[in-house]
Amino acid sequence: MLQLVPFQPVDYLIIGHAAADVTPDGLRLGGTVSYAGLTARALGLRVGIVTSVAEDVPLDEMDNDITIFNIPTAHSTTFENIKTENGRKQILRHRATPLTLNHIPKVWRSAPIIHLAPIADEVESSMAEKLSGSLLGVTPQGWMRGWDETGQVFAKPWENSGQILSHAGVVILSVEDVNRNLELVEDMSHRARILCLTEGEAGSVLHWNGDRRRFRPLEMQEVDATGAGDIYAAAFLVRLYHTRDPWEAARFATQLAARSVTRTGLKGIPTLREIEECSMEVLS
């Protein structure tokens, strides 16, 4: 639901493009802001989203209690994933308006949790320094993607990573983001306060305070893993904010994300029952 000024304070601010994902059934709402924003809302937080989408993105799938500040754009960021014999080929069909600090309502800039969530290099990287007064979470996948003139997406080095890592409270990425280069992950972990690496059905690995621990999820019947990493990110940040315990946050996020793959698309957003189950598991 698109809401206009005046803006009220939020607990969880997330910045990035909502996406129009091309599927056989038509366009589907996607992007980290969608999955993580809905997860934070399911966990009881007041959520604000700064994004840029056109009318082709069905924002009515978002929770009515989420406040969305939308920057006008001709086309939404649109991805198409094509299965080939050599794996998945991702095509960027359109890219919406880039997001800058000036787009963020001032009352939101001091939110308790701020999540920078680029998916197509659209978030101004200097925000990490200018918004680092809160718990700042970063999912850098969009800064690690490039594309050619045909829109074919490829991995690229993360520019300004050192500057962002020095300001972020938590960095969360997947093995796909780094092309399974674990040496790169190890290097980043020495420069980050807390670094989480998600590994799909294998769970996650948390690097913190010179230590590294793996968290394995319960086995689930996978239907659709889309958005699981974004759900993990929001769950980790919210749990960390409440408990101040990264290990507990990782356990909670790993189990909650695992449950999400049993449903398709945004239906994988955590239910109250799942949240309660995972909370009890962490405390037991």
- Taking the model in full, what pTM does it have? 0.93
Superfamily of domain 12-276: Ribokinase (3.40.1190.20)
Q: Whole-angstrom distance between the N-terminal and C-terminal Cα of the chain?
A: 38
Each domain of the chain, given as residue ranges in start order, spans 12-276
Strand locations in the chain (E): 12-15, 19-23, 26-30, 47-51, 67-70, 77-84, 87-94, 113-116, 135-138, 145-147, 153-155, 170-174, 194-198, 204-208, 211-215
The owner of tokens 């972020």 is 168
Residue 133 three-state SS = coil
pLDDT (tens digit per residue) in 167-224: 999 999 999 899 899 999 999 999 999 999 999 999 999 999 999 999 999 889 989 8
List per-block mean pLDDT (blocks of 10 residues) for the chain, which spans 284 residues. Answer: 65 96 86 97 97 87 88 95 75 96 94 98 94 90 95 91 93 93 93 96 96 94 92 98 97 97 93 92 52
